[in-house]
């Protein structure tokens, strides 16, 4: 392979520039002399562009930005952004408990376009290991790097029964805002009861894409469930908890993750209340004829196309019966999955995967693989099974980036020593006694 763009070997190449790798890039640029480059396929920064809808807000606080938790002096903090954009005082006067996704996205784009180690319009197509370094083939040429940081994010997850019908009438929520839509006079169904489903529901309800004939919101969950944002719940999103989590048995890890689902995968109280109030106003105050149905406890099990519209079979977990529903437009707010990045194809056989085919990961977010003594492969947003529920969230991204950089540099570039947490998750002496007894 001819390496036409860069003769020298990068210390680290990043693959993908979403918020997570952007955080690594921002901290590397200000705190190290390393030669790094982060490659992003898109022409400019964009953060889930199809879901940047009206009235959508962050689930996390703005101080959980790219850098602040480990380097509050960084020029790439959210506060620096406010000052640079000359809106600091108005931001304070607005008394925002949570900011809009539009503003956080604008902040991320602002940071990304200042960083000299981020390269847009450069999709990584293939990575080959030479035994000494990685050869990285991008749409803009080839590069060599000693180490990698994979941050390619997730892709829309589409239920099997919907796959044959994907079109402008049946599509994933991630596509929602990417083109003009007109739902006037249509029967619209939203499938999925998480935050994206709620955001789209509220926008359809408010006529964002025209006055619909009817609106159904179908969810497998037992109700439209709130995000658990209580004070002690937030302890799951601390370095101390993650450090404890990493040392747990893998079956215990899985049951913790299952039990904590609503700490990151529920709907914010603010969104639920907006929806409830809007429904109350329309149907109990203005007395509109009912054109909205809330349908929890149902799983979509079959989808058939019928003369330009769709017939949806849903299994009702309460009645234990199959129900039939009709719709003209079906929006799949059915979440995201994380396939292995295509560009890692030739490296995959060298990776140490667990019995479920998931990446083996060290506590420092390094993939376990056969070349790790010489060359490191880090991955962000790829280890919920190993690091817990905070892994796909923004809460700890700056801390995780600092941990990666300390490991890459083999010295404490950032002081990330843990303090005592509020909760004592594991008491060492008792663990030893229990282990002896069993
Ligand atoms: C609508 C939405 C709202 C969210 N809101 C919150 C929130 O409020 N708080 C919170 O904590 N979490 C939130 N999350 C969860 C999480 O923080 C985000 O999904 C976040 O974007 C994950 O960042 P990432 O960097 O892993 O991936 P992504 O943001 O998906 O970025 C990955 C990037 O990699 C690029 N890429 C992929 N393959 C290649 C390749 N081969 N070569 C080059 N580039 C490539 C893609 O183009 C993309 O830009 C939200 C998620 C969604 C979907």
Q: Let me know if residue 234 belongs to a domain.
A: no
Residues 189 and 134 in one domain: no
CA 48 to ligand 1 center in whole angstroms? 7
Q: Rounded CA gap, 170 and 328, in Å?
A: 9
pLDDT tens-digit profile of 322-348? 999 999 999 999 999 999 999 999 999
pLDDT at 434 over 80: no
Residues 6+ apart with CB under 8 A from 291: 212, 213, 214, 215
Of the residues 294, 321, 336, which one is the last residue of a structural domain?
Answer: 336
CA 17 to ligand 1 center in whole angstroms? 8
If one residue of 41, 57, 333, 384 were mutated to test the ligand 1 pocket, choosing by the most ligand atoms within 8 A of its CB, it would be 41
Q: Given CA atoms 44, 47, 48, 53 in this order, what sign does their dihedral have?
A: negative
pLDDT tens-digit profile of 86-109? 999 999 999 998 999 999 999 999
H helices then E strands: how many in the chain?
11, 17
Q: Let me know if residue 27 belongs to a domain.
A: yes
Atom from ligand 1 closest to the CA of residue 39? 43
Residues 162 and 51 in one domain: no
CA 39 to ligand 1 center in whole angstroms? 14
If one residue of 113, 119, 152, 174 were mutated to test the ligand 1 pocket, choosing by the most ligand atoms within 8 A of its CB, it would be 152
pLDDT tens-digit profile of 395-416? 999 999 999 999 999 999 999 9
Q: Rounded CA gap, 91 and 151, in Å?
A: 31
How many structural domains is the chain composed of? Answer: 2
Tokens of 407: 């490991």
* Domain range enclosing 24: 10-154+338-409
Q: Let me know if residue 1 belongs to a domain.
A: no
- Rounded to the nearest angstrom, the gap between the alpha carbon of residue 408 and the centroid of all alpha carbons in its chain is 24
Look at residue 420 in the predicted model and tell me its pLDDT.
Answer: 82
**64 and 397 in contact (C-beta within 8 Å)?**
yes
> Which residue's entry shows tokens 């406890």?
297
Over its C-alpha atoms, the chain yields an Rg (Å, rounded) of 23
**294 and 217 in contact (C-beta within 8 Å)?**
yes
Look at residue 304 in the predicted model and tell me its pLDDT.
Answer: 97
Residues 323 and 382 in one domain: no
Residue 303: what are its φ and ψ, rounded to 5°? -140, 125
**Which pLDDT band holds residue 2 (cuts at 50, 70, 90)?**
very low
Of the residues 319, 336, 353, which one is the last residue of a structural domain?
Answer: 336
pLDDT at 431 over 70: no
Q: Rounded CA gap, 199 and 185, in Å?
A: 21
Look at residue 8 in the predicted model and tell me its pLDDT.
Answer: 84
Look at residue 438 in the predicted model and tell me its pLDDT.
Answer: 53
- Which domain CATH number covers 115? 3.50.50.60
If one residue of 42, 153, 345 were mutated to test the ligand 1 pocket, choosing by the most ligand atoms within 8 A of its CB, it would be 153
pLDDT tens-digit profile of 249-287? 999 999 999 999 999 899 999 999 999 999 999 999 999
Atom from ligand 1 closest to the CA of residue 52? 1
pLDDT at 302 over 50: yes
**Which pLDDT band holds residue 428 (cuts at 50, 70, 90)?**
confident
Residues 47 and 108 in one domain: yes
Residues 121 and 192 in one domain: no
Q: Let me know if residue 136 belongs to a domain.
A: yes
CA 161 to ligand 1 center in whole angstroms? 26
Look at residue 234 in the predicted model and tell me its pLDDT.
Answer: 93
> String of b and e for 119-150 (b: at least 16 CB within 10 Å)?
bbebbbebbebeeebbbbbbeeebbbbbbbbb
Residues 396 and 289 in one domain: no
Q: Let me know if residue 248 belongs to a domain.
A: no
Q: Let me know if residue 434 belongs to a domain.
A: no
CA 177 to ligand 1 center in whole angstroms? 16
Residues 194 and 111 in one domain: no
Atom from ligand 1 closest to the CA of residue 42? 47
**153 and 27 in contact (C-beta within 8 Å)?**
no
Q: Whose CA is nearest to atom 52 of ligand 1?
A: 48
pLDDT at 367 over 60: yes
CA 71 to ligand 1 center in whole angstroms? 22
Look at residue 264 in the predicted model and tell me its pLDDT.
Answer: 87
CA 149 to ligand 1 center in whole angstroms? 15
Q: Let me know if residue 322 belongs to a domain.
A: yes
Residues 107 and 50 in one domain: yes
Q: Whose CA is nearest to atom 16 of ligand 1?
A: 393
Residues 269 and 325 in one domain: yes
**Which pLDDT band holds residue 7 (cuts at 50, 70, 90)?**
low
CA 28 to ligand 1 center in whole angstroms? 19
Q: Rounded CA gap, 427 and 247, in Å?
A: 13
User: By percentage, how much of the chain surpasses pLDDT 90?
Assistant: 92
Residues 304 and 171 in one domain: yes
Look at residue 3 in the predicted model and tell me its pLDDT.
Answer: 47
Q: How many CA atoms lie within 13 A of 231 on its CB side?
A: 3
Q: Rounded CA gap, 316 and 297, in Å?
A: 6
- Give residue ranges with CB within 6 A of ligand 1: 15-21, 39-42, 47-48, 51, 58-60, 123-124, 151-154, 196, 341, 343, 380-381, 392-395
Across the chain, mean pLDDT equals 95
pLDDT tens-digit profile of 214-226? 999 999 999 999 9
Compute how many other C-beta atoms are within 10 angstroms of the C-beta atom of residue 305.
13
Q: Let me know if residue 310 belongs to a domain.
A: yes
Q: Whose CA is nearest to atom 20 of ligand 1?
A: 19
Better-predicted residue by pLDDT, 134 or 306: 134
What would the mean pLDDT of 113-132 be, rounded to a whole number?
Answer: 97
SS percent in the chain: helix, strand, coil, step 5: 30, 20, 45
**Which pLDDT band holds residue 419 (cuts at 50, 70, 90)?**
confident
What would the mean pLDDT of 39-67 be, rounded to a whole number?
Answer: 96
pLDDT tens-digit profile of 131-173? 999 999 999 999 999 999 999 999 999 999 999 999 999 999 9
**433 and 50 in contact (C-beta within 8 Å)?**
no
pLDDT at 427 over 80: yes
Of the residues 306, 336, 366, which one is the last residue of a structural domain?
Answer: 336
Residues 71 and 201 in one domain: no
**300 and 161 in contact (C-beta within 8 Å)?**
yes
CA 228 to ligand 1 center in whole angstroms? 22
Q: Whose CA is nearest to atom 25 of ligand 1?
A: 18
pLDDT at 1 over 70: no
CA 255 to ligand 1 center in whole angstroms? 25
Residues 52 and 185 in one domain: no
CA 216 to ligand 1 center in whole angstroms? 28
If one residue of 260, 394, 399, 400 were mutated to test the ligand 1 pocket, choosing by the most ligand atoms within 8 A of its CB, it would be 394
């Amino acid at each position: 392979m001819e390496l036409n763009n860069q003769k020298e070997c990068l210390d680290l190449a990043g693959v993908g520039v979403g918020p997570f790798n952007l955080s690594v890039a921002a901290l590397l640029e200000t705190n190290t002399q390393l030669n790094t480059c982060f490659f992003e396929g898109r022409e400019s920064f964009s953060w889930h562009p199809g879901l940047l809808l009206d009235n959508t807000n962050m689930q996390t606080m703005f101080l959980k930005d790219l850098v602040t938790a480990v380097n509050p002096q960084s020029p790439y903090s959210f506060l620096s952004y406010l000052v640079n954009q000359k809106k600091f005082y108005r931001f304070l006067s607005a008394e925002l408990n949570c900011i809009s996704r539009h503003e956080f996205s604008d902040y991320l784009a602002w940071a990304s376009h200042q960083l000299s180690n981020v390269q847009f319009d450069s999709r990584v197509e293939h990575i080959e290991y030479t035994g000494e370094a990685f050869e990285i083939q991008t749409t803009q040429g080839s590069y060599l790097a000693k180490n990698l940081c994979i941050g390619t994010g997730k892709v829309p997850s589409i239920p099997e029964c919907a796959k044959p019908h994907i079109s402008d009438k049946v599509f994933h929520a991630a596509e929602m805002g990417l083109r003009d839509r007109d739902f006037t006079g249509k029967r619209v169904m939203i499938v999925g009861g998480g935050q994206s489903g709620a955001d789209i529901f509220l926008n359809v309800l408010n006529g964002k894409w025209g006055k619909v004939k009817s609106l159904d919101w179908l969810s497998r969950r037992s109700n439209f469930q709130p995000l658990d944002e209580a004070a002690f719940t937030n302890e799951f999103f601390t370095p101390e908890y993650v450090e404890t989590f990493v040392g747990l048995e893998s079956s215990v890890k899985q049951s913790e993750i299952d039990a904590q689902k609503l700490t990151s995968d529920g709907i914010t109280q603010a969104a639920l209340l907006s929806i409830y109030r809007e429904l109350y106003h329309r149907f109990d105050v203005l007395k509109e004829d009912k054109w909205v149905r809330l349908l929890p406890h149902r799983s979509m099990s079959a989808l058939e196309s019928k003369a330009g519209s769709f017939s949806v079979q849903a299994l009702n977990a309460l009645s234990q019966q199959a129900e039939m529903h009709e719709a003209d437009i079906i929006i799949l707010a059915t979440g995201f999955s994380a396939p292995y990045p295509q560009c890692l194809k030739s490296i995959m056989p060298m990776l140490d995967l667990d019995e479920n085919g998931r990446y083996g990961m060290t506590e420092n977010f390094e993939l376990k693989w056969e070349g790790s003594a010489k060359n490191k492969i880090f991955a962000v947003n790829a280890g919920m099974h190993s690091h817990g529920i905070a892994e796909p969230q923004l809460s700890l991204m700056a801390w995780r980036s600092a941990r990666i950089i300390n490991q890459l540099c083999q010295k404490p570039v950032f002081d990330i020593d843990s303090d005592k947490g509020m909760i004592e998750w594991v008491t060492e002496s008792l663990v030893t006694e229990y282990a002896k007894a069993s």
